Amino acid sequence: GQNIDQPTEMTATEGAIVQINCTYQTSGFNGLFWYQQHAGEAPTFLSYNVLDGLEEKGRFSSFLSRSKGYSYLLLKELQMKDSASYLCAASGYALNFGKGTSLLVTP
Amino acid sequence: GAVVSQHPSRVICKSGTSVKIECRSLDFQATTMFWYRQFPKKSLMLMATSNEGSKATYEQGVEKDKFLINHASLTLSTLTVTSAHPEDSSFYICSARFGPADEQFFGPGTRLTVL
């Protein structure tokens, strides 16, 4: 079965750091994706973790623990344009998405 | 990165009509494409897996006779919503896998409104 949980909403201040957590239970798991989605637009790729540990890419980092079924997306130096929905997706054959975390960045 | 296009980006139709949405991989060949649907403030839900040269695989609860999928070439998959009804109004997004990480690249989506 597939079960992916992430917080529904988060608010953070411009310039701050925010961590979005995701827990998953999925059969045939072979990797964890994070996508960013602005309202009315298709998702865009942010990161992919297949091994345990932290992957850093500019202001965004993603962490995976396969044994705990846990991942997080870390956003540093938040900007107003980072206000969006962040989708955690577990990869089997297709992608199974969480419901997304709506992040609001305030001045 | 790989580019996936969709056409049309928006469509408004009357109830009972059929609507065809095209998904193209522009700079790579995709033997498999995926069709997702997203209702407002909801997550993307996989509808079906489109396989080049064979029948699509539909997720549970998705009517294959209503959502016709054709993947006639390595760069084109089409989704036809037959006899559309207002409850079919949604954001339809396709994707294709590419690259060493098997990353899914998404098309820009098609906003369908059925009146």
**In this predicted model, what pLDDT tens digit does every residue of B92-103 receive, in sequence order?**
999 998 877 677
Nearest CB to A42 within list B45, B49, B93: B93
Residues 42-81 of A with CB under 8 A from B: 42-45, 48, 50
CA distance B76 to B70: 8
Q: According to the model, what pLDDT value does residue B1 have? A: 65
Judging contacts by C-beta atoms under 8 Å, the chain A residues touching residue B42 are: 99
- Residue of higher predicted confidence among A93 and A63: A63
CA distances in angstroms from B95 to A1, B6, B76, B98, listed in the order given: 22, 10, 11, 10
Q: According to the model, what pLDDT value does residue B40 have? A: 82
Q: Cβ of A42 and B34 within 8 Å? A: no
Judging contacts by C-beta atoms under 8 Å, the chain B residues touching residue A48 are: 101, 103
Nearest to A32 by CA among B24, B109, B102: B102
Question: For B44-71, what is the mean pLDDT?
Answer: 91
Extract the runs of DSSP E, i.e. beta strands, from chain B: 4-7, 10-13, 19-25, 32-38, 45-51, 57-58, 67-73, 76-81, 90-98, 103-106, 110-114
Assess contact for A63 and A90: CB atoms under 8 A: no
